[in-house]
Structure 1
């Protein structure tokens, strides 16, 4: 046992169990299911490092959300999305309006809607109305005062209500012709189960991240990844966008072509240098803004 009061195996199990909930918070803070997963991975690394360093932990779940909150804040600063923080003036007497209507509104709001809130408003609304934390627990996670938390929650809810009345911007992003050509070639080979052809596309030092499962380095290890797909029959690939990024959608032909995951592919010239496969991270699919390319619609 460490000074944390629980062993490393228990921490690992907690991280697995909380991962969807942590992602729900991180994705809404970042405005992207993909970037939310990056924040979750950073949270896992930092939590394990803190544990190994003998961190004192009284409330493990709040502690993990505090790490995720700080990781999200760092991410926002790195992305230069930080907005001005709200003041606490005259907000100490605001009532907690955690009614079911607010909770339904926050749960249904798109990731893009959350990005229109300040980080403080975003964090308060997500923690209270989406994840169900109390005001006191939210203060513990964010480090903000009760007055500031109430102010952020009130103003965030007000902004979301105003945005709910506005039409969503559903303009379809467009694929760059070269990007589309490369992706279609990859998808066509995959759907034909021509995995030898797919292997010819990947670089010798390719990196494969099967999110929430494994990381593979190099062409030899990547063969395991392709071999696993070759043994399965519950998938078909098509082109689309995930959070505005070109992506390959993993559909389940046995379930009305439901999108069950997605893949991001990075190229260097005509070679694939990185693959990120979200098939085993269903919580990312739930939070992602997924659009099929029109010609690919079922």
Structure 2
């Protein structure tokens, strides 16, 4: 696609098509499907802003991955300010590994496994083995040299092999009693379709996001969200965890009760002040570590 044809409409269409792939990268870099969506949203805003500011775009897909990569790096730096930074020794010569087995291993690895890698290793493994970029395209996205990219890829692959052989017994996180009480009340009222009572639980200044669809501000706007649920029957809510966070799981009773989405709620006392509904972000559901408490 030439720069002359790459107008805003083309960029917006490409962002829609690439969003699942951008999320796969961002979620694995952050170790969280939820934080991955935050990174993607930041990258989308930056890409549209750069385009509107007259940025020259020669290879749009690589350009978008570079923006997502930089957004992920910024996110990690913010998160790690109070953590010990990981270090990585230099390797100057390395032999490329066969990609087929490595690709299967990386695709199956959990987000927790990727967090055991250094950021450089994470980037290299995700871009090459999960998303299928070449080494040279990966260098273009990350800005690293070919030697450094090969070294990070080799070490990351080796670490994932080690982690894959280790037991994955992770205990269920503990749920705060007050948080459990609030969530169970919300779930019970929602499942009973008592949406007037559910609306009574949300704050006047509620911020509600249906991820990948819309944002609603204030109680009046947010009330339409509940009406949309009242018109369909392909859902039932239950309690669980998503990436270690207390969450409401959206199950589909018409498809073997499979989890089709999840909802995260921030509270101020007993009032919901922020709701994020991931029902229409299937790419987040695919990447998330979802663990049920009920059922």
| Larger displacement relative to structure 2 (73-82 or 152-161) | 73-82
Partner deviation per Cα, 1:204-230 (whole Å, 9 max, x = no partner): 010101000000000100111001000
Secondary structure in 2 matching 1:255 = coil
Separation in 1, partners of 2:12, 2:87: 34
The 8 Å contact of residues 260 and 279 in structure 1, kept in 2 or not, is answered as yes
The 1:235–1:165 alpha-carbon spacing in structure 2 relative to 1, beyond 3 Å, is: same
Separation in 1, partners of 2:131, 2:89: 24
Structure 1, gaps ≥5 residues long: none
- Superposition misfits of 4+ residues, deviation over 6 angstroms: none
Superposed, which structure 2 residues align to 1:18-57 within 5 Å? Answer: 18-57=18-57
Q: Which residue of 2 aligns with 1:64?
A: 64
Aligned pair count reads: 293
Separation in 2, partners of 1:37, 1:4: 30
The 1:82–1:48 alpha-carbon spacing in structure 2 relative to 1, beyond 3 Å, is: farther
The 8 Å contact of residues 3 and 58 in structure 2, kept in 1 or not, is answered as no
Superposed, which structure 2 residues align to 1:53-202 within 5 Å? Answer: 53-80=53-80, 83-91=85-93, 94-202=94-202
The 8 Å contact of residues 92 and 148 in structure 2, kept in 1 or not, is answered as no
Separation in 2, partners of 1:151, 1:236: 47
Partner deviation per Cα, 1:129-175 (whole Å, 9 max, x = no partner): 00000000000000000000000000000111111110013201121
The 1:271–1:265 alpha-carbon spacing in structure 2 relative to 1, beyond 3 Å, is: same
The 8 Å contact of residues 236 and 250 in structure 2, kept in 1 or not, is answered as yes
The 8 Å contact of residues 209 and 215 in structure 2, kept in 1 or not, is answered as yes
Aligned-CA RMSD value: 1.5
The 1:121–1:4 alpha-carbon spacing in structure 2 relative to 1, beyond 3 Å, is: farther
Q: Which residue of 1 aligns with 2:274?
A: 274
Separation in 2, partners of 1:42, 1:4: 25
Deviation of 1:100 (Å): 1.0
The 1:44–1:133 alpha-carbon spacing in structure 2 relative to 1, beyond 3 Å, is: same
Secondary structure in 1 matching 2:200 = helix
The 8 Å contact of residues 191 and 236 in structure 1, kept in 2 or not, is answered as yes
Separation in 1, partners of 2:85, 2:48: 30
Secondary structure in 2 matching 1:254 = coil
Partner deviation per Cα, 1:77-109 (whole Å, 9 max, x = no partner): 000067445344432xx2322421100110111
Normalised to the residue count of structure 1, the TM-score between the two structures is 0.96
Q: Which residue of 2 aligns with 1:242?
A: 242
Deviation of 1:3 (Å): 5.8
Partner deviation per Cα, 1:245-294 (whole Å, 9 max, x = no partner): 0000000000000000000011000101000000000000000000000x
Structure 2, gaps ≥5 residues long: none
Separation in 1, partners of 2:208, 2:13: 24
The 8 Å contact of residues 76 and 82 in structure 1, kept in 2 or not, is answered as no
Separation in 1, partners of 2:47, 2:227: 33
The 8 Å contact of residues 26 and 69 in structure 1, kept in 2 or not, is answered as yes
Partner deviation per Cα, 1:51-88 (whole Å, 9 max, x = no partner): 00111111000000000000000000000067445344
